[in-house]
């Protein structure tokens, strides 16, 4: 069974809106069917732990032997086996499911869009975000150039997740912002999304960059935007030789780590987004209201 990292937030008040969320960590390989079977198991584990929102990592369906392998599984927007899988899983468990990223067809036949799709509990898609910032690295023997096979997105995206009704009255919606991996290094994107309650950062950080920058960047984005941040990641040694950093985590608006998966390998991280904590942090240090630019 996959390991579950579960945390009850130390600062969460017993009263007020709460949203239980889960980040899925994977070590995706070159066989799509195997990856989907693993994702299905982990989604089920997260739903059984009470998560209303479950997020998969970047490239959950495939980390192939070549960067061009993703072109062979690209789908037209709105239809395809990967999109059907996500829709079906959301509906089967009655959850909000963020499909990490999957390759969608772009206007350039030699490139895909690296897209994060959001499905509601009824299986209908409610949001799509195409990764804007494309990773490039030249670090000794490590070289990456996402722009060779991926076309950049252009538009920041947020969506609202309705709070459950209490005594027949719907609570305020959670405002959720979408981003992907390398976007994390560009704070101006997150300022365009603010104010938000929760940021999503599905990722596949390399071991090299993750060990140096992952935690400090995640905590900075949560602190400066005074919101929770959920970061599901690839984490381990992949069959294509790539090593990813993992350390999937949930961070609160004060920058404290609510829950984190420290070992390599597949598993989930579960924790609560607390409305009371958001209000407390924003009232005690109203930085968002002090913005002048």
Work out the angle between the directed axes of helices 81-93 and 32-48 (0-180°, nearest 10). Answer: 20
B/e letters for 212-227, b = 16+ CB within 10 Å, e = fewer, are eebbebbbbbbbbbbb
Please list the residues that pair with 174 across neighbouring strands: 161
pLDDT score at 171: 75
Question: Residues 70, 146, 181, 227: which is the catalytic one?
Answer: 181
pLDDT score at 6: 65
pLDDT score at 14: 42
pLDDT score at 141: 82
pLDDT score at 2: 47
The answer on pLDDT for 148 being more than 60 is yes
Asked if 181 is an active-site residue, the reply is yes
pLDDT score at 15: 55
B/e letters for 171-181, b = 16+ CB within 10 Å, e = fewer, are eeebbbbbbbb
Q: Residue length, the chain?
A: 293
Q: Which domains does the chain possess?
A: 3-290 (3.60.110.10)
The residue among 290, 182, 195, 175 whose CA lies nearest residue 233 is 182
Using alpha carbons only, give the angle 248, 162, 288 rounded to the nearest 5 degrees. Answer: 65
With contact defined as beta carbons under 8 Å apart, do 104 and 76 qualify?
Answer: yes
With contact defined as beta carbons under 8 Å apart, do 229 and 221 qualify?
Answer: yes
CA dihedral angle for residue 265, residue 120, residue 197, residue 273, rounded to 10 degrees:
-60
- Label residue 172 by pLDDT band (50, 70, 90): confident
pLDDT score at 3: 56
The answer on pLDDT for 190 being more than 70 is yes
**Dihedral sign computed on CA atoms, order 198, 189, 111, 210:** negative
Asked if 227 is an active-site residue, the reply is no
What average pLDDT does this structure show over 223-243?
A: 97
Other Cβ atoms closer than 10 A to 137: 14
What average pLDDT does this structure show over 62-70?
A: 95
Residues 111-129 have pLDDT tens digits of 999 999 999 999 999 999 9
Question: Residues 5, 70, 111, 131: which is the catalytic one?
Answer: 131
pLDDT score at 216: 98
Q: Rounded to an integer, what distance in angstroms lies between the CA atom of residue 181 and that of residue 206? A: 10
The residue among 58, 54, 62 whose CA lies nearest residue 4 is 54
Listed in sequence order, the residues at least 6 apart from 79 whose beta carbon sits closer than 8 Å to its beta carbon are none
CA distances for 251 relative to 40, 145, 199, 221, 248, angstroms: 25, 29, 10, 10, 10
Other Cβ atoms closer than 10 A to 193: 18
12/237: higher pLDDT: 237
Asked if 239 is an active-site residue, the reply is no
Question: Residues 58, 111, 146, 227: which is the catalytic one?
Answer: 58
Helix or strand holding residue 220 (H, E): helix 215-225
With contact defined as beta carbons under 8 Å apart, do 28 and 174 qualify?
Answer: no
């Amino acid at each position: 069974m996959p390991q579950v990292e579960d945390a009850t937030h130390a600062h969460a008040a017993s009263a007020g809106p709460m949203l239980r969320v889960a980040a899925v960590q994977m070590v995706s390989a070159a066989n799509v069917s195997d990856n989907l079977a693993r994702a299905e198991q982990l989604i089920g584990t997260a739903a059984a732990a009470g998560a209303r929102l479950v997020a998969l990592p970047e490239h959950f369906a495939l980390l192939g032997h070549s960067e061009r392998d993703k072109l062979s599984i690209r789908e037209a927007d709105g239809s395809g086996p990967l999109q059907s899988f996500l829709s079906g899983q959301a509906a089967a468990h009655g959850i909000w499911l963020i499909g990490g990223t999957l390759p969608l067809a772009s206007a350039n036949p030699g490139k895909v869009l690296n897209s994060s799709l959001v499905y509601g509990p009824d299986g209908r898609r409610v949001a799509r975000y195409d990764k804007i910032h494309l990773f490039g690295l030249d670090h000794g023997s490590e070289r990456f150039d996402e722009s060779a096979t991926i076309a950049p997105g252009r538009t920041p995206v947020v969506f609202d997740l309705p709070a459950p009704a209490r005594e027949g009255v719907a609570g305020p919606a959670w405002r959720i912002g979408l981003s992907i991996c390398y976007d994390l290094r560009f704070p101006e994107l997150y300022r365009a999304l603010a104010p938000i309650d929760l940021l999503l950062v599905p990722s596949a950080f390399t071991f090299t960059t993750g060990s140096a920058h992952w935690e400090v960047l995640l905590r900075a984005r949560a602190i400066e935007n005074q919101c929770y941040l959920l970061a599901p990641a690839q984490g381990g040694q992949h069959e294509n030789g790539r090593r990813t950093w993992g350390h999937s985590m949930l961070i609160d608006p004060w920058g404290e780590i609510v829950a984190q998966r420290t070992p390599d390998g597949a598993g989930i991280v579960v924790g609560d987004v607390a409305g009371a904590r958001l209000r407390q942090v924003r009232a005690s240090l109203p930085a968002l209201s002090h913005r002048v630019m």
